[in-house]
Chains A and B, each alone.
Chain A
Amino acid sequence: MIYREAGQFKSTYASDQAIFPIVQDRWVVLVLLLGAVIVPPLVASEYWLQAVLIPFLIYALAAIGLNLLTGYAGQLSLGTGGFMAVGAYSAFKLTTAFPALNIFVVFALAGVAAALVGVLFGIPSLRIKGFYLAVATLAAQFFLLWLFNKVAWFTNYASSGTITAPPRTVFGAMVTGPGATAPARYLTALAFVIVFALVAKNLVRGRVGRCWMAIRDRDIAAEIIGIRPLRTKLLAFAISSFYCGVAGAEYVFLYLGSAETQAFDIAVSFLVLFMVIIGGLGSILGSFLGAGFIVVVPIFLTNVPHLVGLALPVALQKQIELMVFGGLIIFFLIVEPNGLARLWQIAKEKLRLWPFPY
């Protein structure tokens, strides 16, 4: 009743192709965006920003990246951690070599570096499909991490083997480094994810998205109707790795502060894959939902037992976390393989009718 499209007729193709064709959606998203920009820096505690919101935004960006490659283009990748690492280490080398370079530009360039590496490891995708391709991406994952571990040049010969985000300012505000406040880092991550989510949405609703989905659904028929598989797949690898690279740079510069290669190991690849599966393959919204879900579950598991008087030892918590993740993956694949995004769509459809049953 409330959420009705009655009276909203699209009289132009343009309005039909809009990202949010329903007016109510547009308003809600606008309010959410404004809220996201204004509310947390003013109201949220350090803990909420640092432990929940900032990692959520960063993981959401990585999840969008992986979703473009695996969800839209159908190329399974287990190398997300490796590509994030490329972004992180490139950003580090660039900003330490050119301290005057604007850190936003550094992030973007780091993304480009990751994109190039992604294209390299995506080349086998022409001959190799499905699980086999996953192995190629595993090769990327293990090799890249080994490379960053072994070659000390990447860490500027630091004895600790870690890279640390140096202090950098943008528009006068300290954005990275020990002096950067949580709100500043939060707003930076938010800005990046909003811009790149919009770009991703533009890509998937147009020519590029259709090429990807065609290759995903029926690669042979796609080739016969004129789609060039190698070009399409490499573009997917490039753009996906770009997103993961930027996310990786943000991971160190805006969240952790400093990191070793451990921070990008295979567990991260699986974590982002979980976000994409649970959130919904082939959905930008799903990437956000999945990231949010995965970030919140450990927090939930840490805090809820306290609230009900149970004190769980840390190890047990980790184990329950693993079980919950694993169980949820299976649950979602059975109940709704299209993830939270589809559940959300179903909820909206029900909302159209509410309070009537049909």
Chain B
Amino acid sequence: MTELLRAVFVAPFADMAGNMPFLIEVLIGGVAAGLMYSLVALGFVLIFKASGVFNFAQGVMVLFSALTLVGLMERGVPVVAALALTALTMIALAFAIERVVLRPLVNQESIILFMATIGLNFFLEGFGEMIWGSNVKKLDVGIPDTSFMVRGVQVNRLELTAALTAAVLVAILAILFQRTKIGRALRAVADDHEAALSIGIPLKTIWVVVWSVAGLVAIAAGIMWGAKSGVQFSLSLIALKALPVLILGGFTSVPGAIVGGLIIGVGEKLAEVYWGPLVGGAIENWFAYAMALAFLLVRPQGLFGERIIERV
């Protein structure tokens, strides 16, 4: 019994303390993974913040954008043009989604919209694979997946780029929401579709804008993930991982998506490296959810979410 207690509560921390450079590398790995999650979660937050819809299809949008980019590049389109075309595709996709899915479901309950995005998720999965094929593709955007040393610690170029991209995106989006007229309109729409309509906010336009921006964020996420692990189907499952991030960070907070991603990324990595061997590994499969669950029990609205006061 004491063996077990030692192994769970003492030994892992001893390991951490005993090999600091390794610990830092693990932490960096966690931060990097966390930021990648954050990039995906950002897309969720955007759409939720602006339309009240939980877009389950965000993960598949990441995949779809990456597939399009790689597919174009494989056919010889130069990188910049391919990026532009991919962006245009995602914008076109946003138009299509607004027309076909969102407009007919205006002011339905959020659970209905959520399930519609599940349907969208599967549709896009099949569609993407049908057009571009289902084998794993290598995505090369000119950033090598190599590391350099900083004071005895390895830092990966790709992960660094991802971190910087995330930071820039967050800054832009935060400004967009807080300072601009369109940001205010977006927040109004998130609160109440009908009310927003009745004061003249062009719902259709807003939705297309939001989903386009989410699509562009998806491209960024797709590039990072694709470059790291290749463009493949499992990318869409990242969406499921983004859920714990959103729970921690709150569904409507742009900085929350970053903080949540970091906590999940680091927590997961630490758990896997230091506690994983105790139970045979692969804790990463479920640890994030367990963390989110534990968190929810204590603080149902997440770190940054607003406290809901129920009215009757």
Contacts and interface: CB of A to CB of B under 8 A. Distances in A.
Interface of A: 76, 124, 127-128, 130-132, 134-136, 138-139, 142-143, 145-146, 149-150, 220-221, 224, 266, 270, 273, 277, 315-316, 318-330, 333-334, 337
Contacts of A320: 126, 130
Interface in B238-294: 240, 243-244, 247, 251, 279-280, 282-283, 285-286, 289-290, 292-293
B115 interface: yes
Nearest to A136: B293
A157 B101 CA distance: 49
A131 B111 CA distance: 8
3 nearest A-B residue pairs (beta carbon) = A329-B119, A326-B123, A322-B126
A333 B292 contact: no
Contact of B296 (A124, A322, A323): A124
A326 B122 contact: yes
A124 B119 contact: no
Contact of A326 (B126, B240, B243, B312): B126
Contacts of B126: 318-324, 326
Contacts of A319: 126-127, 129-130, 134
Contacts of A130: 110-111
Interface string B103-116: 01100101110111
Contacts of B312: 220-221, 224
B130 A330 contact: no
B53 to A, nearest CB: 11
Given A124-B297, A322-B123, A326-B119, 18 more contacts: A76-B111, A124-B293, A130-B110, A135-B247, A135-B292, A142-B286, A145-B285, A146-B283, A150-B280, A221-B312, A319-B126, A326-B121, A326-B122, A329-B118, A330-B116, A330-B123, A333-B108, A337-B108
Contact of B105 (A146, A221, A266, A333): A333
> Which of A134, A139, A319, A320 has the most CB atoms of chain B within a 10 A radius of its CB?
A139
A146 B123 contact: no
A181 B123 CA distance: 37
B100 interface: yes
Contacts of B129: 315, 319, 322
A135 B122 contact: no
A325 B112 CA distance: 16
Nearest to A128: B296
A330 B289 CA distance: 28
Contacts of A143: 285-286, 289-290
B134 A329 contact: no
Given A146-B285, A150-B280, A333-B115, A136 B130 contact: no
Contacts of A330: 100-101, 116, 119-120, 123
B12 interface: no
B300 interface: yes
Given A322-B122, A333-B105, A138 B296 contact: no
A316 B129 CA distance: 9
B54 interface: yes
A72 to B, nearest CB: 14
Contacts of B310: 220
28 contacts: A131-B54, A132-B296, A135-B243, A138-B240, A139-B286, A146-B285, A146-B286, A220-B312, A270-B118, A270-B122, A277-B115, A319-B134, A320-B126, A325-B122, A325-B123, A326-B119, A326-B121, A326-B122, A326-B123, A326-B126, A327-B123, A328-B119, A330-B100, A330-B116, A330-B119, A333-B108, A333-B119, A334-B105
Contact of B289 (A142, A220, A325): A142
A134 B289 CA distance: 11
Interface residues of B, number: 46
Nearest to A144: B286
B112 A337 contact: yes
Contacts of A220: 310, 312
B79 interface: no
A324 B129 CA distance: 14
Nearest to A126: B297
A13 to B, nearest CB: 32
Contacts of B159: none
A315 B112 contact: no
A240 B50 CA distance: 35
Contacts of A322: 122-123, 125-126, 129
B124 interface: yes
Contacts of B54: 131
Nearest to A325: B122
B240 A131 contact: no
B32 to A, nearest CB: 22
B279 to A, nearest CB: 7
Nearest to A139: B289
> Which of A318, A323, A324 has the most CB atoms of chain B within a 10 A radius of its CB?
A323
> Which of A270, A322, A337 has the most CB atoms of chain B within a 10 A radius of its CB?
A322
A185 B280 CA distance: 37
A139 B293 contact: yes
A132 B247 contact: yes
A73 to B, nearest CB: 13
Contacts of A266: 237, 240
Nearest to A131: B54
B131 to A, nearest CB: 9
A354 B292 CA distance: 55
Contacts of B111: 76, 130
A344 to B, nearest CB: 20
B112 to A, nearest CB: 6
A304 B224 CA distance: 41
B62 to A, nearest CB: 17
A323 B123 contact: yes
Contacts of B123: 322-323, 325-327, 330
